[in-house]
Amino acid sequence: MPNRLDLSIGEWNRVSPKYVVVVIVGTLIGGLVASAAATFLWLVAGWTWGWILLAGVVVVTLVSLIIAPRRARSIGYRMRDDDLLFRRGIMFQRFVSVPYGRMQLIDINRGPVGRVLGLADLKFVTAAASTGVVIPGLPEPDAAELRDRLVELAESRRAGL
């Protein structure tokens, strides 16, 4: 029986290198909000150990900023004969196979930072609520082209059911 999830065959499509900027900006905003909350708990609410929480937030934010480029490079997708294979993650890798015939909606989202950089996210909705596949950081023309191609494949596969 052949291994259906053979990861060594074929070329992985990667997200745009500009997506690193989106990850860094998101990490900075999250770190600033968490730092403000920790500072509030420490100085205003009177938590004696609030400075430890603040130090922890700063360390986690710095580590996240350091690994941001690697996190962005770990995201990829591959179109196969019957499905779209998506991967992400460094330590805890996630591989999701979305059969073309199961795709119900393919949505393009653009956040404010992504819009400035000309990037879009492609979101897939299937009958399974837990699928939640989002391919982030695609150049807008590539996202639109991929969406159209996947809609075409999904319609042809559903017609064959």
Q: Tell me, yes or no, whether 143 lies in a domain.
A: yes
Instruction: Give CA–CA dist 18/96, Å, rounded.
Output: 24
DSSP state of 40: I
Same structural domain, 59 and 94: no
Q: What angle do CA 93, 99, 100 make, to 5 degrees?
A: 130
User: Domain containing 140: what range?
Assistant: 76-159
Output the pLDDT for position 102.
Answer: 83
| pLDDT tens-digit series, residues 93-104 | 888 888 888 888
H helix intervals, the chain: 19-39, 50-73, 112-117, 140-159
Last residue of a domain, one of 71, 90, 114: 71
Q: Tell me, yes or no, whether 152 lies in a domain.
A: yes
Q: Tell me, yes or no, whether 13 lies in a domain.
A: no
Same structural domain, 84 and 152: yes
CATH code, 141:
2.30.29
Same structural domain, 28 and 90: no
Same structural domain, 55 and 96: no
Q: Tell me, yes or no, whether 122 lies in a domain.
A: yes
Among 33-42, 110-119, 129-138, which stretch is predicted with the lowest mean pLDDT? 129-138
Same structural domain, 80 and 115: yes
Same structural domain, 116 and 151: yes
User: Per the structure block, which two tokens stand in for 104?
Assistant: 């119900």
- Phi and psi at 61, nearest 5°, equal -65, -45
| pLDDT tens-digit series, residues 12-64 | 999 999 999 999 999 999 999 999 999 999 898 888 888 999 999 999 999 99
Quote the number of domains for the chain: 2
Please, which residues have CB within 8 angstroms of residue 143's CB and are 6 or more apart in sequence?
Answer: 108, 120, 121, 122, 135
Q: Tell me, yes or no, whether 12 lies in a domain.
A: no
Same structural domain, 60 and 96: no
Same structural domain, 153 and 83: yes
Q: Tell me, yes or no, whether 55 lies in a domain.
A: yes
Same structural domain, 151 and 88: yes
